[in-house]
Amino acid sequence: MTKPAVSAAEQGLCSCHVCNLVSRLPDGVVAAHCPRCGAGLHFRKPGSVSRCWALLIAAYVLYIPANLLTIMETGSLFSYRKDTIVSGVIHLWKTGSWLIAVIVFIASVTIPLLKLISLTLLLISVQRRSRWHPRQRTRLYRMVELVGRWSMLDIYVVALLAALVQLGSMATVKAGPGAVPFGAVVVLTMFASMQFDPRLIWDPLQKERTP
């Protein structure tokens, strides 16, 4: 294993989480503030792991009704449908819209679940002070942050259809009760990834951890 470089925290340097100014904290100082914007300075986000766990558990709980409840209701003179995410994917597949079905399934089912599993893995590894593949775990965290916003595809589709396809008694489209927990899952996982401090991944590799 390559010898790790000296961290900024070991040199007494701290980055402001608001304006990103790097400041040197005097030894023995418990509470310090950024000289530029006045925000509190911390070597690591206080309570990062506990807040991330709380948001993640809430997302796990809401993930179940998000996939079981109706997310979209469509009606016309000839039919009326209530679709969950999975039933909507199946309907798209059966009607020949295979590409759209695959995109919706990946964006609305696979990505949220993989985000939950990835954040869980990162939290457990950090709490156990694991030294296992820190570079890969850091890349995993960056990927979770990058793809987070694309999980809202179903909500965007429902919102656009509800706004455009309103022809009175001829055709209607409206969001179902599953749209709320689904949107909440996406938002909670985005907040959870924001609360997670990826620098904790590298702390076990340092000879001395700065308090």
The pTM is what?
A: 0.75
Which amino acid, one-letter code, is at 49?
Answer: V
- Judge whether residue 166 has pLDDT over 60: no
Q: What is the mean pLDDT of residues 127-155?
A: 78
State percent of the chain over pLDDT 90: 10
The larger pLDDT score, comparing residue 196 to residue 58, is at 58
In a domain, 164, yes or no: yes
165-184: buried (b, 16+ CB within 10 Å) or exposed (e) per residue? eeeeeeebbebbebbbbbbb
State percent of the chain over pLDDT 70: 72
What's the pLDDT tens digit per position in 1-47? Answer: 455 566 666 677 777 777 877 877 766 665 677 888 877 777 777 78
Are 32 and 104 members of one domain? no
Are 38 and 101 members of one domain? no
Whole-number pLDDT of residue 47:
82
In a domain, 15, yes or no: yes
Are 35 and 78 members of one domain? no
CATH code for the domain in which residue 140 is found: 1.20.140
Domains of the chain: total? 2
Are 75 and 114 members of one domain? yes
Range(s) of the domain holding residue 75: 47-205
In a domain, 7, yes or no: yes
- Within 13 Å of residue 70, how many CA atoms lie on the same side as its CB? 12
In a domain, 210, yes or no: no
What's the pLDDT tens digit per position in 56-89? Answer: 999 999 999 988 888 777 666 666 677 787 887 8
